[in-house]
Chains A and B, each alone.
Chain A
Amino acid sequence: MTTENAQAALGFFQARYGIDQTILNDLLAVAMSRGGDFAELYSEYRQTSLLNYEDQAVRQSSGGITQGMGIRVVQGDAVGYAYSEDFSVESLKHAATTAAQIANSSQGKVNPIDATILSGANLYPIEKPTIDARALEKLEIIRRVDKAARAHDPSISKVSVIFADELKRVLIATSDGRLAADVQPLFTIRASVIAEKDGKRERGFKSASARRGLEYFDQIISPEEVGVFAAKQAVTNLGAIDAPAGIMPVVLGAGESGVLLHEAVGHGLEGDFNYKKLSNYSDRVGEKVASELCTVIDDGTVPHTRGTLNIDDEGNPTQYNVLIENGLLRGYMQDRISSAQMSVAPTGNGRRESFRKYPMTRMTNTYMLNGETPFDDLIKAVPRGLYCVEYGGGQVDINSGDFVFIVTEAYMIEEGKITTPVKGVNLIGNGPEVLSKVTMVGNDFQLAGNGGMCGKNGQSVPVSLGMPSVLVSSITVGGTAA
């Protein structure tokens, strides 16, 4: 276990704002002044920067700093929450007093925080976070994306590239004596492209994101690949026909199809919905909820990935959690409150958007384990259906499990062969029902490297997805060609 990150974050808050263990203990005592099961202080210092490049010029260069402390007092599953954007002791004590309002007994127990810092493993060791790289280095990468996209095809009429990055330092102290800290780098590059030909206009996208430095573009994906991917998608869509509508078999491609897992099962397996019995997966541990070919994992420990964290936002180390194993529901993702309510251990899934928000049960990197069938065999098995490659986001109604997701790149499958590109595809279905119709799982697992955001109750957090290709024997395709 390395504590380098944690020590750095602790030292930072102490040097910059004078936040030391004495102040943290004093604040915890104020937060627990009316009782409660535990209190938690979440300090955050976040630097952001953004370069927006359009029409071969830097349109916007921006950046900023947000900092503050969120204070939470928990009694049962009731939460008192307040935050302060400055670290003056007076202002922090006011926030602690406000959060304490939720509890209504006498002074609660505070264990002085332990000087030993919890840090988890170092899952994103890097030499230099991108936020510390020179703007000219980032611009060079952006220009290579732009150039490759433009050169791809004469129909490309518009290219824009955004490079956004952040460095987040967090320090978490709790009344049960825990002290945890981390430094979290993250960058995202997004290319969007418009192609125009014969009065038709279409778009293409590609994003890439990781908790790495700029060496990512030498090691994982080149700027040219990002640009060409987006350009190719726009050009492909120019030749796309209207999507068919109705029920048909669908092959979901490896990697980004993980959005299916995220929407169809992921949200429904978040502990907070389940202890409240609001999910269609509530009280179903041990039951068959998917085809026996499906094993679904949420894993916060994949090195350098967007959804990865050394510690979650409640200070628990992230871990590898089996959600569904060979079709059987094994367990839920948990935060501190949901795990206590369900009498299980937390799983490192307590996350929040920022110090302004309280943590909830959230996904990290959600994926399906590899199967055994070669991809070609999945396609060959389909007389008439769809092959879906890239997605534009989805949504689920966690009560019913009904979900929808948009497909931004898809092709017809006719007599076992991939044929014409189609546009305007929406896939709609019900989580357990669709997963029970998975009849083949490919041996081509990929973790998607794109820049996905997951929204829940007004809070957005970065996540990743992954999947081998799968064949779903029937799913409703919402197209326009009836």
Chain B
Amino acid sequence: MENTELDLNLAEAVVKKALEAGADEVEVLFSQGYESGVKLRKGKVDLLNEAQPKALSLRLYREKRAAVAYTSDFSKAALDDLVLRAMDMAVISDPDPAAGLPDPEDLAFQYNENLGIWDPAIGDIPTDVKVEMVRRCEDAAFAFDPRINNTGGTTFSTNLRQIGLVNSLGFAGTYKTSHCSFGLDAVVDDAEGKKQNGWWFTISNNFKEMKSPEEVGRIAAQRAINKIGGRKVKTRKMPVIWDPMVASDLLGTLAGSLSGEALERRSTFLIPFEGQKIGSDLVTLVDDPLRPGLRGTRPFDGEGVAVHRKNIFDKGVFQGFIFNSYTARKTAHKTTGNATGGIGSLPGVSVSNFYIEPGKASPEEIIAGVEEGLFLTEMIGFGYNPVTGDFSRGAVGWWIENGKLAYPVAEINIAGNMKEMLANVTQVGNDLEFLFSISSPTIRIDNMTVSGL
């Protein structure tokens, strides 16, 4: 079977073909890359995988009727068929005046290709080097405490990807991004046949910036040991200290309520609050797609629009929603360059590198300031209603008594309302580290309902 490599020329050819077939506006998005994984469990390699995924997505409009089609077959016959299928689908859609490509003046005809997110060395790490690193990580976890007796395994993953975007307004852009990671699940026996796990990881766009395997192994082991003997606490309201992992998770939950899609679907509690102060003075939330070397860094958004740094919350004031061009037109706003390009779907909306501006206190100082409360280290479940802001998750952590960690707690629940939680942020730590695209330092939120006994 004939198969062509993806490049901007091929994408341009598909755009041309669709215009010839009668489309008014056309965009082609493609992604191709290389990914691999090596998994070690108890000293033995138990998974080797490798692949070169690729896909091409065609978005077109005819008389403002939208259609999207995708394929991973790039033969001429398949691409011809793709255009025909998309034209057929456009007939089914209803015309929508807000539909279409971005306004030409918003497109990133010039963009910065050197954002520190591409490290080709990641593709050349020899398998034995990866195995050695995860072996050191696992050894460090088992050596940390004799009670660590099992693991779900440690996978060293690499991912290299090229993204390309071409549209009928003359935009043609491409960039490469890479990352590598490994994480360890350390397991320990608890009372009554229960087992507890502790997970830690390192991920980076650049091989040299990965954390040491020993550090990752030790932290995973410590997190498992910390959970032994967890008990419930009494149901009542109290301050909750969120470690950076769970605080990032909370920010990620909030992020969904900030999008123009949520505004347009009337499915966010933030609708009445554009421009209003609803958070405490400590709540400054930054979205920075141009900050170099991070997971959310990108030179242009998912439909080729120029991107920039902005505060979505500034000292507690909600500055406004984030948009792609469709949701912006639909709600009489300007796009904020937050489109995400989906293979096989219309563009969505999402934050890029999204974080809470760090404060001055260390995590230890924040804990020391709590008379009675919860130090939260893990959450489970998906209890968030974006329409009302009601938040409720299962929780694991430590009970704080007189400023000190007293004993582990488990099988409890924390609940609150996102709007009130933003107002009740009373401390923000100085320990911001960009673990994910969404990151946070330690934070303190007062007056949360903790349910247990």
Contacts and interface: CB of A to CB of B under 8 A. Distances in A.
A439 interface: no
A277 to B, nearest CB: 6
Contact of A426 (B46, B73, B344, B394): B394
Contacts, number: 254
Contact of A397 (B197, B267, B417): B197
A284 interface: yes
Interface string A448-482: 00000000000000000000000000001111111
Contacts of B412: 428, 476, 478
Given A62-B344, A78-B45, A476-B452, A276 B152 contact: yes
A67 B390 CA distance: 41
**Which 10 pairs from chain A and chain B are nearest by CB?**
A478-B413, A404-B381, A404-B394, A64-B70, A57-B94, A62-B68, A245-B451, A81-B49, A61-B89, A426-B392
A203 B194 contact: no
Interface in A299-340: none
Nearest to A355: B51
B416 A480 contact: yes
B366 to A, nearest CB: 23
B193 interface: yes
Interface of A: 17, 48, 50-51, 54, 57-68, 77-83, 85-88, 91, 98-99, 101-102, 135-136, 139, 157-158, 160, 194, 196, 201-203, 243, 245-247, 276-280, 282, 284, 356, 358, 392-397, 399-406, 423-426, 428-430, 476-482
Interface in B213-243: 227, 232, 235-237
21 contacts: A48-B344, A58-B92, A60-B93, A61-B89, A65-B70, A67-B73, A79-B48, A246-B451, A276-B41, A284-B193, A358-B49, A395-B381, A400-B194, A400-B227, A404-B381, A404-B383, A404-B413, A428-B381, A477-B413, A478-B413, A478-B451
Contact of A406 (B49, B66, B344, B382): B382
Nearest to A277: B150
Contact of B236 (A86, A358, A426, A482): A482
Contacts of A245: 235, 413, 415, 449, 451
A395 B380 contact: yes
Contacts of A428: 381, 394, 411-413, 451
Contacts of B211: none
B194 A426 contact: no
B50 interface: yes
A336 to B, nearest CB: 14
B312 interface: no
B381 A394 contact: yes
A164 B191 CA distance: 46
Contacts of B411: 402, 428-430, 476
B92 A478 contact: no
A215 to B, nearest CB: 22
Given A424-B392, A426-B413, A476-B413, A280 B266 contact: no
A406 B379 CA distance: 13
A77 B388 contact: no
A80 B49 CA distance: 6
B112 interface: no
Contacts of B93: 58-61
B72 A278 contact: no
A61 B45 contact: no
A243 B196 CA distance: 30
A17 B2 CA distance: 11
Interface of B: 1, 3, 41, 44-55, 57, 66-73, 85, 89-90, 92-94, 96, 150, 152, 187, 190, 193-197, 227, 232, 235-237, 265-267, 269, 271, 344-346, 380-383, 385, 387-388, 390, 392-394, 396, 410-417, 449, 451-453
B414 A403 contact: no
B50 to A, nearest CB: 5
B70 A482 contact: no
A424 B449 CA distance: 12
A442 B196 CA distance: 34
Contact of B232 (A61, A243, A476): A476
B51 A82 contact: yes
A61 B66 CA distance: 7
A54 B267 CA distance: 13
Contact of B67 (A62, A81, A395): A62
A202 B390 CA distance: 11
A411 B171 CA distance: 54
Q: Which of B73, B392, B414 has the most CB of A within 10 A?
A: B392
Contacts of B267: 158, 194, 203
A400 B51 CA distance: 34
Contacts of A395: 380-382, 394
Nearest to B35: A356
A17 B271 CA distance: 52
Contacts of B390: 423-424, 480
Nearest to A63: B69
Nearest to B149: A277
A277 B53 CA distance: 33
A158 B266 contact: yes
Contact of A399 (B1, B187, B345, B453): B187
Nearest to B453: A247
A399 B197 contact: yes
B64 to A, nearest CB: 11
Contacts of B44: 78
B154 to A, nearest CB: 13
B380 A194 contact: no
A396 B72 contact: no
A403 B417 CA distance: 22
A214 to B, nearest CB: 16
A51 B195 contact: no
A477 B451 contact: yes
Contacts of B415: 245, 424, 426, 478-480
Given A82-B49, A82-B51, A480-B415, 8 more contacts: A65-B73, A245-B449, A245-B451, A276-B150, A397-B380, A404-B393, A426-B392, A478-B393
